[in-house]
Chains A and B, each alone.
Chain A
Amino acid sequence: MAGRKNVRNYSPVQLATASIVCLLTAALCLGHPPSVRADEGTYKLGLVTFLSGAAAGPFGVPARNAAELIIEAINAGTLPSPYDSKGLAGMTIESTIIDEAGGGTKQVGEFRNLVQRRNVDAVIGYISSGDCLAIAPVAEELRALTIFFDCGTPRIFEDNDYKYVFRTGPTSTMDNVAAARYILELKPNLKSVSGMNQNYAWGFDSWNDFKWAMGVLKPDVDIKTEQFPKLGAGQYGSEISAVMVSRAEVIHSSFWGGDMEGLVLQGAARGLFDNSQGIFTCGETAMFRLSDQIPEGTIIGGRGPFGVFAPASPLNDWFRKSYMDRFGTPPTYPSYKMAQAILGLKAAVDKAAAAKNGKPNKEEIAAALKGLEFQAPSGVVRMSLGKGHQAVQEMVYGQFTKKNGKPEIYNVRRYPAECVNPPDGVKSEDWIKNSLKQTSCN
């Protein structure tokens, strides 16, 4: 170590500190400067949705498209009533979009960025339930108005109370409870089911809800096999064989996006659905894209009254037509849910502004959104669970057919929200196990 003194020797740490400072400045300059809200006439909206990875195609990009369409229409004031006023209480929406990729910790950091550096007035986003769970407490800490539009887990508002966090889409509980009800109406003498769900929280939750509901509604139904292939596995040959060997009458699957489409392709090619009735809780996104491959009579759901399941209304007609004209495909459920979240925000801001006769602050908007009932392309949305922070809607299932040459749904059954969702304050699991049987749908 003696030789060190005569070497040119300024400390690396000094330089490192210097470079950190430089980088920091660079970061701040390159990014948007932390300006004070310059313009009182704009409302800054942060949008977070998957722009890369497997969820981008089926969910992230359709949601972004819907956001683009709705925001432009709101700013121009061209939406049908009751949203025909310009902007959010007159404020023009200015949106920023970021990619949801990277997992919970990364998203927490990006969320702080959006709120504190980009100074957004509200954040709408999050498809992954894990991200929603991670973001909710941070949103509360930062007092940032946040609306989840797609994630499904009921745990968010069942385990915690929030003031600034909302979800305008229904939870995944009703998908599977309604699936069990529908299948039992279709096959009252059902003997056996098998499950094929993805190996992660969404798959487990969906299958458990379905299994529990089945266990309560028709206890003698036999569960033949429960398969959980890896998320994004692509190849389902072995699982399809296992389900075939099990010879169950019904196959339940909560696969979504590319995995679901792969399963449909591989299952159809092997005749999996010739002897078994398939039920796909997220099948709606594939309805038009894979219309040649989905077997006749397959039961498909769209996570609520979205897409083809949406009831006719001037708002829905406008939405379907404008979306179709602009993007060339009919809107699927992620588009509906995004549209619904933005419209929910608009309804709340307009309501708060009307009550105050001026620009509302985020507390006033949150108070207005709490327990609100508003119109969306999918019909009426009621924020009635989670102390007014969680939406409920009716749930719809139907069977797929292409007999008339174009993909259609028949045998449609609509379940009112009360018969497929727990009442406020009761956890989904407890509700299914204890009081689902007594809950009537008529």
Chain B
Amino acid sequence: METLLAILIDGLVYASWLFIVAAGLTLVYGVMKILNMAHGSLYAIGAYSAASLVGWYFGSGHPPWGSFALFIGGAVIAGMVTGLIIERGVLRRMYGRDEVVMILVTYGVLLILEDVTKLLWGVDAYFAYQPYGMIGRVRFSDLTFAGYDLTLIAVAGLVGFALWYALNRTRQGKLLRAVIHDREISLAMGINVTRIFIVTFIIGSALGALAGGLTAPALSVAPGIGIEIIILAFAVVVIGGLGSVGGAAIGALLVGICRALAVHTYPQFELFIIYGVMAAVLAVRPQGLFVIARARKI
């Protein structure tokens, strides 16, 4: 019973984190058809910005609760700025290339950003643990969870809802969905696709950085933290169906719960679980769980 509860909560916490990372990735793919490897760097930049801000904030003795607004806001802004630079500086010049080439382009950006973060922040770890302890602990019989982790579930829900609302209930969102559906027709209908691209990439980047910023308090923020995330997020996005935000949520839940199940029952399978789930899902649904229908073009 206790194990079951642990699996459920651990799975949910992990899934929330995965979802925030994957949401930006899938949104960017949906609109721009770019599988953005530099998303990992944006995650790292978000984490670094948050960690330095928290360090500075507590170092200068301000009221502790204000740190939340500061580090979350700081991470998001850092992500937006970096996103803007990447889109205007690099991606803009590469539009129209093959999808695989675009992956390689973002890989190049990832390599550069890895060293840029190293030059800016050095190789020594940064810590931002103060906010992590502030929400306290929650006890379920013998299990203790950090309040911060549980809050993350709510934050993920909020991010998901905000995305859903923006995409389905606002004019901008509808324009965005039109571009997701058919870029050429949208262009012909007078939608400013360039602007949509910029906005999408900035939102996607901000989400990646937000994920990094939110995780920073539980981590030692050091070089390389963004690399592991990429493949994980890719898997989630592919499982859910590329470009589908709802799919990313389901994919994250599936991976999160399966992983928690493995850790609590057969820990030796933990390493395979993500690829196992991905292979299984693709074997049944070759294009992921939620896929946008496409006509066969002859």
On A, residues with C-beta under 8 Å from B are 51-54, 56-58, 60-61, 199, 225-230, 232-235, 237-239, 241-242, 244-245, 247, 257-259, 261-262, 265-266, 269-272, 289-290, 292-293
Contacts and interface: CB of A to CB of B under 8 A. Distances in A.
Contacts of A228: 267-268, 270-271
Given A58-B125, A228-B270, A238-B259, A257 B264 contact: no
Interface stretch (B5-13, B170-178, B181-189): B5-13
B137 A56 contact: no
Contacts of B268: 228
Contacts of B198: none
Contacts of A52: 114-115, 118, 123, 223-224
19 contacts: A53-B223, A54-B223, A54-B225, A56-B222, A56-B224, A57-B222, A58-B222, A60-B123, A61-B123, A228-B267, A237-B10, A238-B259, A244-B144, A265-B127, A265-B129, A265-B132, A265-B218, A269-B146, A290-B127
B19 interface: no
A57 B267 contact: no
Contacts, number: 143
Contacts of A238: 6-7, 10-11, 14, 259-260, 263-264
B49 interface: no
Given A56-B118, A234-B218, A242-B264, 13 more contacts: A56-B224, A239-B263, A245-B142, A245-B143, A257-B220, A258-B219, A261-B127, A261-B219, A262-B218, A265-B217, A269-B129, A271-B137, A272-B144
Interface in B189-237: 215, 217-220, 222-225, 227-229
B286 interface: no
Can you list the 6 inter-chain pairs with the closest CB atoms, starting with the nearest?
A261-B220, A238-B10, A54-B224, A258-B220, A238-B263, A241-B6
B271 A258 contact: no
Contact of B9 (A230, A241, A269, A272): A241
Interface string B56-86: 0000000000000000000000000000000
Contacts of A242: 6, 263-264, 267
B149 interface: yes
Q: Among A56, A60, A61, A235, which residue has the most Cβ atoms of chain B within 10 A?
A: A235
Nearest to A290: B127
B10 A241 contact: yes
B133 interface: yes
B175 to A, nearest CB: 36
B137 A234 contact: no
Interface string B125-136: 101010011000
Contact of A57 (B14, B132, B146, B223): B223
B48 interface: no
A58 B196 CA distance: 42
Given A61-B124, A258-B125, A269-B146, A232 B227 contact: yes
B17 interface: yes
B218 A269 contact: yes
Nearest to B147: A269
A245 B264 contact: yes
Contact of A289 (B122, B127, B260): B127
A241 B259 CA distance: 13
A60 B125 CA distance: 13
Q: Among B6, B123, B225, which residue has the most Cβ atoms of chain A within 10 A?
A: B123
Nearest to A195: B267
Contacts of A58: 125, 222
B165 interface: no
A244 B129 CA distance: 21
B225 A56 contact: no
A57 B260 CA distance: 30
B3 interface: yes
Given A227-B263, A247-B142, A269-B218, A237 B149 contact: yes
A342 B215 CA distance: 39
Contact of A56 (B123, B148, B220, B271): B123
A128 to B, nearest CB: 14
B13 to A, nearest CB: 5
B98 interface: no
Contacts of B7: 238
A244 B263 CA distance: 12
Nearest to A199: B271
A257 to B, nearest CB: 7
Contacts of B217: 265
B222 A258 contact: yes
A56 B129 CA distance: 21
B270 A266 contact: no
Interface in B1-50: 2-3, 6-7, 9-11, 13-14, 17
B125 A261 contact: yes
A270 B137 contact: yes
Contacts of A270: 137, 144-146
B143 A244 contact: yes
Contact of B129 (A225, A272, A293): A293
Contacts of A271: 137, 144
Q: Among A53, A234, A247, A259, which residue has the most Cβ atoms of chain B within 10 A?
A: A234
Contact of A241 (B17, B123, B143, B218): B143
B228 A53 contact: no
Contacts of A235: 14, 17, 215, 218
A266 B125 contact: no
Nearest to B271: A199
A273 to B, nearest CB: 11
B32 to A, nearest CB: 27
Contacts of A245: 2-3, 6, 142-143, 264
A226 B132 CA distance: 26
A241 B267 CA distance: 12
Contacts of A293: 129
A230 B264 contact: no
B270 A244 contact: no
A353 B77 CA distance: 61
Contacts of A247: 142
A150 B16 CA distance: 38
